[in-house]
Amino acid sequence: MSMKILWALVMAFMTLVVSGSAAAAGRGDLTQHVDPFIGTDGTGHVTPAAMVPFGMVAPGPDNADRGWSYSSGYQYRAPRILGFSNTHISGAGIPELGDVLLMPAAGTRWTAQSTDFSAAPDKKTESARPGVYRVTLPGHGVRVELTTTQRVAVHRYTFTQRGRVQVLVDLQHGLLFGHGPEVTPRVTQAASAVDAPRGELTGTTHAKNWVEREASFIVRFDRPIERVTTLPPRAGDQASRYLLDFDLGPGRVLHARVALSTVDVDGARRNLAVDQDKSFDTVRAAADGQWQRLLSRIDIEADARFKKIFYSALYRTLLHPSDIADADGRVRGPTGQVMAAPGGVYYSTLSLWDTFRGVHPLFTLLVPERVPGFIQTLLAHHRAQGYLPLWTAWGRETHTMIGNPALPVIADAVAKGFHKGPTGFDLQVALQAMLETSTLPRPRAPEWAQRSWDDVEQFGYIPLDRISNESVSKTLELGIGDDAVARVARAAGRPEVAERFTRRAQGWRQLWDAQTQMMRGKDSTGRWREPFDPLVPTSPMNNPGDYTEANAWQYTLTPALHDPAGLIAQMGGAAAFEAWLDRFFTLRSPGVNKHLGQEAMIGQYAHGNEPSHHIAYLYAWTGSPEKGHALIRRIVQSFYGNGPDGIIGNDDCGQMSAWLVLSTLGLYPVVPASGTYVAGATLVRRAWLTRADGTRLAIVPGRRPGVWVDGQRMDPKALSHAALLRARILELGS
């Protein structure tokens, strides 16, 4: 028997085995493995709010309305709940949203003189699954249940007594940046109206917090409002707070539906109309069905504990970005103008500095049908603002973080062919947006943000004396974007543009200090930063310096995100690079500082923040890739758990979770703009990825060294996306 025939028989047998196992693994209730409370205790900043994939609204509990720890409004161990607002961001590092807070109570305990409406939850009754949140408030005599559609939050309140009940509707409430009573109230102006016979409340609030924005809303109860009490305004209040009284008669259940719009009340009303006739249980079941379908795109064979960790992480990667377009296709864009959402979708909560690294490459495998909409959103944002987004909330630009992180997201989509076909995007338009983002001045950007390119063009790097902080990090992160422009320019047949940006992407070389073996700050005359301690982390908000939420050790490896071969050569070759990595992972850290990105430490590796996320995979370029595999297992075992404190460091809109999902499969996009993955070692006995066409890729631990796709050995440093789309079996040998 020839080797070809033998191998064909082996492949056929393996296909039958993994297909049968996959079918068995795919059966059952996958949402039972998801715990939305993972990451809600500590610095994960996850919300347990009821959400559908990429949904606009997210009804959930708020324990506080300000402070870094309450960026999502929630902390698992907080003793009281202020109420239940209807928009949230999960996993971010700055509080925002928290619109239209409702709080129910049995009886008529509250009056116009009441000031404290909070309640202590019965933690034994608090539960959450994808698409639903529940808790009992014994002191208020009510069981609260929340579920949601894409644009409509549905509340169900079951009271312990019949007859009269009350609901607080607080339009002033929101999640605020800062601490203490001196924080400026977020609402700058507001208008609202109550239609008591219809059981409706409508209005619009204009707010200024992380972003300036407006939110229009409609709240509709399934009972008429018996009495309306407008609470006296507190100092700084611009929006109303209402006490609404209801008479349930012999019943004990009250429903409320909340729809929002970035545009106007009519938009919110049309959003409500789409789902207004659906019962709570129908909405909950539909939300569960959406989650079941998406979670089933990856099946793993693992024990119950790891399934809980894995599927909870997979769930979190699919919460954001949020599609904030109205049902009629309108949306309010980055400069406040109303525009048509391209294809009827417009994504916000774009935490791109975090998510370009792992989340968006994962989306190309997991939800490829969404990718054209993501890119069209980026391009629409560019048309409105003049440059591609950096970090958006409720459609508005925050200018948070550094570099041009939308550029590698677009380049990744181009490398994987998403610009082609009927749902694709115009390659030349995308390139032009990338060029303008990388060259045109931004006079309306804040002073602390990137406003011009003069220093980059003159020096090839950003001198530390020409900028207040982050000179090294900004230079290195801009290089990632420049490389992305060059890649897309080559694909678009623009070699002169590709050459220009390839050169500009090499600016990192001017900050390489051979003596210290570090990326080091340099002034406009070429002098190095003095004094210099590579162990000291800096952040513009806490300790201004040359690095962004990291230190020199961590940022020295940033060029590997677009030029790993060049960086390794600069450091003296593979053996020298391996020795550098060995020291990196063993050199003791001076301490943990969550505000400077120093969490979840292994030596100088800080898994709690994104600049370190690719580093364990860099051992693939050395003679000891198994060191990287061992570190990845250690990171998973040390820093991902199955309890509320199961994430160390902000989840950052899914990036911390995407790292786990990808690493479980044995893949990571070290060079995210390249359309390739670095192959590691799968962390489970078997995994199956269901592709858009319904076919499956089986990922199995290899019985031989190397990486094999359908029996063909592949370069573990450059496993192509195209190969994964064709393959039946991926074997990852350790």
Q: What is the pLDDT of residue 379?
A: 98
Q: What is the dihedral of CA 407, 413, 416, 418, to 10 degrees?
A: -150
Confidence of residue 102 (pLDDT cuts 50, 70, 90): very high
pLDDT at residue 8 in the model: 43
pLDDT at 6: 38
Measure the CA–CA gap between 108 and 165, rounded to whole angstroms.
6
| Opening angle at CA 362, ends 359 and 365, nearest 5 | 155
Is pLDDT of 12 > 70? no
**Position with higher pLDDT, 28 vs 619:** 619
**Rounded-to-integer distance, Cα 691 and Cα 296, Å:** 11
Higher pLDDT, residue 26 or 293? 293
Tell me the per-residue pLDDT of 104-145, one tens digit each, with 9 for 90 and over: 999 999 999 999 999 999 999 999 999 999 999 999 999 999
Beta strands at 330-332 and 719-720: parallel, antiparallel or unpaired: unpaired
Query: What does the mean pLDDT of the chain come to?
Result: 95
Question: Terminus-to-terminus CA distance in the chain, angstroms?
Answer: 30
Residue 21 pLDDT exceeds 60: no
**Residue 401: CB partners within 8 Å, gap ≥ 6?**
352, 353, 354, 390, 391, 548
Return the pLDDT at 543. Answer: 84
Q: Where are the domains of the chain?
A: 44-110+117-295
Instruction: Give me the mean pLDDT over the 346-369 stretch.
Output: 98
The predicted-structure confidence for 587-606, as pLDDT tens digits, reads as follows 998 889 998 999 999 999 99
pLDDT category, 541, cuts 50, 70, 90? confident
In the three-class reduction of DSSP (H, G, I as helix; E, B as strand; rest coil), residue 574 is classed as helix
Neighbours of 234 (CB within 10 A): 10
* Spatial separation of the C-alpha atoms in residues 276 and 257, rounded to whole Å: 8
Q: Which residues contact 167 (CB under 8 A, 6 or more apart)?
A: 102, 103, 104, 105, 157, 221, 243, 244, 246, 254, 256
Written as one letter, the residue type at 420 is K
Q: How far apart are CA 323 and CA 325, in angstroms?
A: 6
Q: 26-35, 72-81, 482-491, 656-665: lowest mean pLDDT where?
A: 26-35
Cα angle: 219, vertex 241, 47; to 5 degrees: 65
Q: Which residue, 706, 720, 614, is CA-closest to 659?
A: 614
At 185, the pLDDT band (50, 70, 90 cuts) reads confident
Q: Measuring CA to CA, which residue among 103, 10, 80, 90 is closest to residue 58?
A: 90
Nearest Cα to 156, choosing from 308, 283, 329? Answer: 283
pLDDT tens string 488-536 = 999 999 999 999 999 999 999 999 999 999 999 999 999 999 999 999 9
Q: Does domain 44-110+117-295 have CATH number 2.70.98.10?
A: yes
pLDDT of residue 4: 46
Residue 237 exposed, middle or buried by CB count within 10 Å (0-12, 13-18, 19+): middle
Q: Which residue, among 70, 67, 69, 107, has the nearest Cα to 85 in the 3D structure? A: 70
- Is a pLDDT exceeding 70 seen at residue 182? no
**Would the pLDDT of 9 be above 50?**
no
* pLDDT bucket at 3, cuts 50 / 70 / 90: very low
Q: Give the residue carrying structure tokens 């006296």.
A: 232
**Does position 34 have pLDDT exceeding 60, yes or no?**
yes
Q: How confident is the model at residue 180 (pLDDT cuts 50, 70, 90)?
A: low
pLDDT-based confidence at 181, cuts 50/70/90? low
Pair 646, 592: CB distance under 8 Å: no
Mean pLDDT computed over 20-45: 81
Distance between CA 75 and CA 39 in Å, rounded?
9
Which residue's structure tokens are 């899914």?
A: 654
| DSSP letter for each residue of 163-178 | SEEEEEEESS---BSS
